[in-house]
Amino acid sequence: MAIANSLEKFFCKAIETSFNAATLAVDIEVVKPLAELVKVKAFAKKAEKLDFKIIEAKVFILQVEIIELLKIANTKKNKSSSDFCKSLFACEPAKDLSVSFGLISPFDVNDFTKFEKKVCKLGIGNFISNFLSDRKASIESQLAVLQVEIATIDSQLDGFILDLENSTANLIAKLDDLTPFETCGFVDCDFSESSTNKKNDILEKVSILSSGKFDDTNTLATYDKKRKDLTNDILGLIFLAADIGKPPSNKVPRDEVAG
């Protein structure tokens, strides 16, 4: 009986050394997904609180400019434009500039009818058209850049989430090292129960990681909502910008568009 007890204690001690090494390896592996989780939350919060705020400010500035350009594009000929042309015609330096710009010949510059047609209607009209065309191209380019910025941020977050998923998968695989000890249940040392409890504890943590319940502060949900809102805002501005420079229509921007 004494020999049996001594033998059991010997194996218990020997198996304990292996078991402790296996559990230590698992504990080390647990740290990795937890560290990746911190990265995911930190990046998502930074993107939502800082990066998206900067993009949001840029979107607002472009929105204001688009609204103003649409107002210019949709301005119809009225009394004020006619009055401006008369004031322009009365200004000798303005007439000289009109000639130097090639808007009208020096022979016609003192004829108001011709001046109004060539300078005020055609000349300035072409100038405004070219101006609107240039600004439209610039705005569309800036909006495209903002779309790329959002996509880049989203891709970076996806990378952190992938690292979290991979480290979680590695942790699950590491649990297999505890499986052999589930067959070792002795009077003095029950590694079977210890191994099972350890695996269940880790699997519970893994289920929280894989189900998304780790986002207890709604960090990712807030990030995702902000990303979607910004994306939709930019798409809306791309639609609006497409009308810059087009002839007057019923799509004249309303006050609520700017809001």
pLDDT in tens, 131-159: 788 889 999 999 999 999 999 999 999 99
pLDDT at 63: 94
Higher pLDDT pick, 228 / 216: 228
Structure confidence at residue 54 (pLDDT) = 96
Lowest model confidence (mean pLDDT) among 20-34, 77-91, 132-146, 192-206: 77-91
pTM assigned to the model: 0.71
| Stretch 231-238: mean pLDDT | 95
pLDDT interval class at 227 (50, 70, 90): very high
Q: What is the dihedral of CA 72, 74, 78, 84, to 10 degrees?
A: 20
Which neighbouring-strand residues pair with 186?
none
> In 3-state terms, what secondary structure has residue 190?
strand
- The long-range contacts involving 124-131, CB below 8 angstroms and separated by at least 24 positions, are 128/72, 129/245
Name the average pLDDT for the chain: 83
Asked whether the predicted pLDDT for residue 217 surpasses 50, the reply is: yes
Name 214's Cβ contacts closer than 8 Å, sequence gap at least 6. Answer: 37, 208
pLDDT at 81: 63
- pLDDT per residue as tens digits for the range 115-128: 888 888 777 677 77
Structure confidence at residue 55 (pLDDT): 96
pLDDT band per the 50, 70, 90 thresholds, residue 42: very high
What whole-number percentage of the chain has pLDDT above 90?
29
14 neighbors 181 (Cβ within 8 angstroms): no
CA angle 64-132-134, nearest 5°?
A: 105
Residue 2 has pLDDT above 80, yes or no: no
Mean pLDDT of 77-106: 79
Q: H/E element holding 19?
A: helix 2-46
Spatial contact of 204 and 52, defined as CB atoms under 8 Å apart: no
